[in-house]
């Protein structure tokens, strides 16, 4: 039986500057979802890439005295390095300067032109270069770009137009028949109220006053508008239209993950283009919130603290990935601060999880260094903790399916705190003093080891090294690679009692060393 497929994408990033923690946020979320689906046995394709054409890239490259191609080639190396460092383990990386993408975009334009969905005209209006967006006078907010608030330029140029207005009714149907097409639902309402209700105008889809873009085959003086070029990546990366093997296997996308400001492009313009091409529509567009930095949207000018490489170096990848997905509910904006990251790492990771593991391993090592005895005297309280772990499976899966990452982690941490409380209630250090309590002690420590085994699996989509470190200390990996693989599987975490009596725990280093908050804040001031 063939496996169910799952195709997830991130936006393709502008390589105009180094990426910051706000960009990493989206990629870590997509990667976590891809890892989760792989664990669930799906045939996953996770796509990311870079959006390399357009006026902004051309301008930045020239400012640095480079040809645009040379400039983007250099930037892409850095972006790929960052994803490697952060274990953003994509299956495909598309660059809009890839020849296969260029050819696909040209083919798309020819199809749209031939079927009458593109016509020639003159564009007169406003243009926001940082957002690469056209705006009409009435859409501007106080004369500025409604998306980013920056100044816009008056533009008049020959342009081809896409008949977006023709697809308005079908888009309305899409939104009304598929209430989960856009999530969170508040973003669907924004699209309906701000655009569909107001009415859609035809969209300028070519530029002619600069040259860094894909030339249109039917008019070599015009280049494709960068957003149509960019959106096409989701199908060109799968080989559309010339080598459709991957396309047939993975399209339509199960989810396009995007930041809220580019929702309009993904949930209105992109579906309309697909309708014009007679292709199936993506199943979902999920618009996540922004990480704000001291009240404003992040940018590189805010300094080192937003550089993900520095954050990984100082606090570790797993703490950073955990923080990003635990601290901010995924659909909403959140205020980023390094102080909050350190506090989370100290409280949730060093205290709750790290201490639980080290206490349990130390107590088992002390009382059962050769493994657990067969006789265990289980009590009601053990069954309660195990029952909570069983309930956690359902919660984790339910929240994952809705991409509610913070709630997935919250449910796992409820179990972790309960396990810490369970230690206080069962007082294993007292049981350890008396030989007659030995089978009761074995039951308590076994229950804890078995919960930790399951927690390690649930954490594995989020964290890269921690689950393996936990299995090592719990003595699971030393039992052989087959056992290790078996007990790393998602299914194994749904079952209780798979921890084995003959596993020999091994004391190890603290998995999340405590960070001295005050000293670190001082060190950071010097760094900026
Ligand atoms: N190139 C376009 C996307 C084309 S997709 C067909 C683009 N690039 S971008 O580099 O400006 O942004 C890429 C993504 O990063 C967007 O989804 C954007 O929302 C996200 N983020 C940029 N800054 C962010 C934060 N501060 N916080 C969260 N996400 C942020 O748009």
DSSP characters over 256-297: EEEEGGGHHIIIIIHHHHHHHHT-PPPS-EEEE-PEEETTEE
- In this prediction, residue 304 carries a pLDDT of 54
> Ligand 1: does its nearest atom lie under 6 Å from the Cβ of 23?
yes
Domain at 338-493, CATH from 1.10.730.10, 3.30.365.10, 1.25.40.10, 3.40.50.12640: 1.10.730.10
User: 126 in helix, strand or coil?
Assistant: strand
Residues 148 and 141: their CA atoms lie apart, in Å, by: 10
CA of 8 to the centre of ligand 1 (A): 16
How many Cβ atoms from other residues are within 10 Å of residue 491's Cβ? 12
Residues carrying CATH 1.10.730.10, the chain: 338-493
> Ligand 1: does its nearest atom lie under 6 Å from the Cβ of 259?
yes
> Ligand 1: does its nearest atom lie under 6 Å from the Cβ of 348?
no
User: Do 329 and 370 meet the contact criterion of CB atoms below 8 Å apart?
Assistant: no
Residues 133 and 135: their CA atoms lie apart, in Å, by: 6
CATH superfamily of 5-306: HUPs (3.40.50.620)
- In this prediction, residue 148 carries a pLDDT of 85
Residues 131 and 396: their CA atoms lie apart, in Å, by: 36
Count of residues for the chain?
528
Residues 91 and 129: their CA atoms lie apart, in Å, by: 31
> Ligand 1: does its nearest atom lie under 6 Å from the Cβ of 26?
yes
DSSP 8-state symbol, 352? I
Q: Which residue has the tokens 């990546």?
A: 233
Which protein residue has the closest C-alpha to ligand 1 atom 15?
23
Q: Interhelix angle for 317-327 vs 308-315, to 10°? A: 110
Residues 443 and 480: their CA atoms lie apart, in Å, by: 24
**Tens digit of pLDDT at every position of the chain (528 positions):** 579 999 999 999 999 999 999 999 999 999 999 999 999 999 999 999 999 999 999 999 999 999 999 999 999 999 999 999 999 999 999 999 999 999 999 999 999 999 999 999 999 999 999 888 989 888 899 999 988 889 999 999 999 999 999 999 999 999 999 999 999 999 999 999 999 999 999 999 999 988 999 999 999 999 999 999 999 999 999 999 999 999 999 999 999 999 999 999 999 999 999 999 999 999 999 999 999 987 565 555 545 558 999 999 999 999 999 999 999 999 899 999 999 999 999 999 999 999 999 999 999 999 999 999 999 999 999 999 999 999 999 999 999 999 999 999 999 999 999 999 999 999 999 999 999 999 999 999 999 999 999 999 999 999 999 999 999 999 999 999 999 999 999 999 999 999 999 999 999 999 999 999 999 999 888 876
Residues 352 and 213: their CA atoms lie apart, in Å, by: 52
Q: Which of 202, 201, 263, 260 is nearest to 231 (CA)?
A: 263
User: Do 388 and 380 meet the contact criterion of CB atoms below 8 Å apart?
Assistant: no
Residues 491 and 366: their CA atoms lie apart, in Å, by: 31
Residues carrying CATH 3.40.50.620, the chain: 5-306
Which protein residue has the closest C-alpha to ligand 1 atom 16?
259
Residues 528 and 524: their CA atoms lie apart, in Å, by: 7
Q: Find the farthest-apart pair of alpha carbons in the chain and give their distance in angstroms, rounded.
A: 90
Q: How far apart are the first and last CA of the chain?
A: 55
Q: Name the residue of 10, 17, 20, 26 to mutate for ligand 1: max ligand atoms within 8 A of Cβ.
A: 26
> Ligand 1: does its nearest atom lie under 6 Å from the Cβ of 238?
no
User: Do 277 and 305 meet the contact criterion of CB atoms below 8 Å apart?
Assistant: no
CA of 130 to the centre of ligand 1 (A): 11
Residues 432 and 429: their CA atoms lie apart, in Å, by: 5
- Kindly report the CA angle at 199 between 196 and 200, in degrees rounded to 5? 90
Q: Which of 77, 87, 146, 22 is nearest to 461 (CA)?
A: 87
Instruction: List residues bridging with 46 in a β-sheet.
Output: 8
DSSP 8-state symbol, 130? T
User: Which atom of ligand 1 lies at the shortest distance from residue 231's CA?
Assistant: 6
Which protein residue has the closest C-alpha to ligand 1 atom 30?
22
Q: Where are the alpha helices (DSSP H) in 156-212?
A: 168-177, 185-191
Long-range contacts of residues 17-20, Cβ cutoff 8 Å, at least 24 apart = 17/60, 17/300, 18/75, 18/78, 18/300, 18/307, 19/79, 19/82, 19/308, 20/298, 20/299, 20/300, 20/302, 20/306, 20/307, 20/308
Residues 449 and 506: their CA atoms lie apart, in Å, by: 12
User: 150 in helix, strand or coil?
Assistant: coil
Residues 241 and 180: their CA atoms lie apart, in Å, by: 28
pTM confidence score: 0.96
Instruction: List residues bridging with 256 in a β-sheet.
Output: 9, 285
């Amino acid at each position: 039986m063939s496996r169910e497929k799952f195709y997830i994408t991130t936006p393709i990033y502008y390589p105009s500057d180094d990426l910051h923690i706000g960009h990493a946020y989206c990629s870590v979320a997509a990667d976590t979802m891809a890892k989760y689906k792989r664990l669930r046995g799906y045939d996953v394709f996770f796509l990311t890439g870079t959006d390399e054409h357009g006026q902004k890239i051309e301008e930045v490259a020239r400012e640095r005295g480079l040809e645009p191609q040379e400039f983007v080639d250099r930037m892409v190396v850095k972006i790929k390095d960052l994803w490697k460092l952060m274990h953003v383990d994509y299956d495909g990386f598309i660059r809009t300067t890839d020849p296969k993408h260029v050819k696909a975009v040209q083919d798309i334009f020819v199809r749209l032109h031939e079927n009458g969905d593109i016509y020639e005209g003159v564009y007169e209006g406003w243009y926001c270069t940082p957002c690469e967006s056209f705006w009409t006078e009435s859409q501007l907010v106080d004369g500025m770009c409604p998306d980013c608030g920056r100044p816009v330029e008056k533009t008049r140029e020959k342009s081809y137009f896409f008949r977006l207005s023709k697809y308005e009714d079908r888009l309305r149907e899409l939104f009304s028949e598929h209430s989960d097409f856009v999530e969170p639902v508040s973003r669907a309402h924004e699209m309906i109220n701000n655009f569909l209700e107001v009415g859609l105008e035809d969209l300028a889809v070519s530029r002619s006053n600069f040259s860094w873009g894909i030339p249109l085959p039917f008019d070599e003086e015009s280049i494709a508008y960068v957003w149509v070029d960019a959106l096409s990546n989701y199908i060109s990366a799968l080989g559309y239209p010339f080598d459709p093997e991957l396309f047939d296997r993975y399209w339509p996308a199960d989810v396009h993950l995007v930041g809220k400001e580019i929702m309009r492009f993904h949930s209105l313009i992109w579906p309309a283009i697909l309708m014009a091409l007679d292709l199936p529509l993506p199943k979902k567009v999920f618009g996540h919130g922004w990480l704000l930095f001291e009240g404003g949207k992040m940018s590189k000018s805010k300094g080192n603290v937003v550089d993900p490489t520095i954050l990984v170096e100082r606090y570790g990848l797993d703490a950073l990935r955990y923080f990003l997905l635990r601290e901010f509910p995924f659909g909403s904006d959140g205020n980023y601060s390094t102080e909050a990251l350190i506090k989370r790492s100290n409280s949730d990771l060093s205290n709750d999880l790290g201490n639980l593991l080290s206490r349990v391993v130390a107590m088992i090592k002390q009382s059962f260094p050769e493994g657990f005895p067969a006789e265990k005297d289980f009590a009601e309280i053990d069954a309660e903790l195990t029952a909570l772990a069983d309930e956690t499976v359902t919660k984790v899966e339910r929240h994952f399916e809705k991409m509610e990452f913070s709630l997935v982690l919250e449910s796992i941490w409820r179990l972790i705190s309960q396990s810490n409380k369970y230690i206080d209630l069962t007082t294993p250090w007292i049981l350890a003093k008396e030989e007659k309590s030995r089978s009761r002690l074995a039951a308590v420590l076994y229950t804890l080891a078995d919960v930790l085994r399951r927690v390690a699996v649930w954490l594995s989509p989020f964290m890269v090294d921690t689950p393996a470190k936990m299995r090592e200390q719990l003595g699971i990996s030393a039992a052989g690679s087959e056992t290790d693989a078996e007990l790393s599987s998602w299914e194994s975490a749904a079952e209780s009692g798979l921890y084995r009596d003959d596993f020999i725990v091994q004391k190890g280093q603290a998995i999340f060393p405590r960070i001295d908050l005050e000293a670190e804040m001082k060190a950071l001031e010097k760094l900026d």
